[in-house]
């Protein structure tokens, strides 16, 4: 049962990772899947950036997402340690099997790395301002 849950979690993370970190481009941007005016073969699976920023995950969902990401990396010596809520999202500890700290991650409320989330917000605000000026 646990193996089945991990496989499903990994599949969900793989499908959502592409859309979570992709930023649909304008008419001049046509590199990569889901970018540019044509959108590539996975266009139907991409979430609207504003909808993606508004999404809020629970601590359990963030833990599952991080476990799936570690599975995808393939290092069986790592595991998710403490997941705690912060004002801006979550703080996640990545530890070894013997609970030695490897890394502390800051995530936004939607599970994205906090710095990427903030950059994406800035880009969307600039894009909205440009559209309002036109």
pLDDT tens digit sequence for 23-82: 444 444 444 444 455 555 545 556 777 888 889 999 999 999 999 999 999 999 999 999
Per the structure, the count of domains in the chain is 1
* Structural tokens at position 109: 């409320």
What is the per-residue DSSP string for 116-129?
HHHHHHHHHHHHHH
* Structural tokens at position 19: 């859309």
Beta bridge partners of 60: none
Q: Which domain holds residue 94?
A: 2-133
**Hey, is 100 helix, strand or coil?**
coil
pTM, 2 dp: 0.61
Looking at the chain, how many residues does it have?
134
């Amino acid at each position: 049962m646990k193996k089945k849950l991990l496989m499903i979690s990994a599949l969900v993370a793989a499908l959502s990772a592409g859309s979570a970190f992709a930023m649909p481009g304008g008419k001049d941007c046509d590199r990569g899947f889901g970018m540019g005016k044509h959108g590539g073969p996975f266009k139907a699976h991409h979430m609207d950036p504003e909808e993606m920023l508004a999404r809020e995950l629970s601590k359990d969902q963030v833990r599952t997402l991080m476990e799936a990401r570690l599975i995808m990396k393939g290092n069986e010596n790592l595991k998710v340690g403490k997941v705690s809520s912060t004002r801006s999202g979550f703080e996640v500890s990545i530890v070894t099997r013997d609970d030695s700290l490897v890394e502390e991650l800051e995530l936004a409320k939607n599970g994205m790395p906090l710095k990427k989330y903030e950059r994406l917000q800035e880009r969307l605000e600039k894009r909205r301002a440009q559209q309002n000026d036109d």
